Amino acid sequence: MPGSSLWLIPPPTHPLYPILSFLISQRLPLDFPSEAGAADARLIPEFFAPHMTLSSGISPDLYGDDPQRWLDSIPWPSADEVQVRFEGISSQDTYYRRCYARVKLDEGIKKIAGLARARGVNGEDDAKGAKTQEWLEWWRKEFGPHVSLMYGDVPISDDRLKEVAKVVEKAGVKLTEPVGDAEGNGWNGGVVWLVPTDRDIKDWKPIAKRVL
């Protein structure tokens, strides 16, 4: 994946952080080895921190040798404005979107993703810029906000996807929006990570962090 990316991570103290980490690194590769890339003994499943990608394709020239300063210069919304809420599980025929939990696209999610794209790629101040508005519409139609659960090359059938959903929900993740708040349906706020995603997936580590 070229360039760097901005991710939104659940708060480290939130109950979903260890649950999602366990699903990504252990439960799903064990129960679905083919889909998670673990069926071939020569391959190692891809493990990554639980996150919602805000934008990718960010040139390292933008933040130079002080990525923290650049990240802190962005006027991120408050934690109360950003509510990540799950809406189900989907699969696309793309390695990085092989299996993911869909996230509700509300105004708070549009604001933070649009801001990340505006500042990181489009050279605009915020999500109101023309290029960023066009990107938001494209993003919504193509795949929208999501939290990846498995990367891989093996297609996932509808029946298999239902099995994945059962495992995810049994672990404590609520995939349908309830009436009112429910533990496991998502999180508020979080931590923005700047990650050089032009490296191998095992080396996807943050070079700067910003708590909302």
Give the catalytic positions in this structure: 51, 146
**Looking at the DSSP assignment, which residues form a beta bridge with residue 148?**
100
**Stretch (H or E) spanning 196:** strand 191-196
Closest CA to 188 of 88, 100, 113, 77: 77
DSSP state of 77: P
Rounded Cα–Cα distance for residues 194 and 210 (Å): 9
Separation in Å, CA 205 to CA 47, 115, 121, 192, 196: 12, 22, 20, 12, 7
Give the CA radius of gyration of the chain: 17
Q: Under a CB-based contact definition with an 8 Å cutoff, are residues 30 and 144 in contact?
A: no
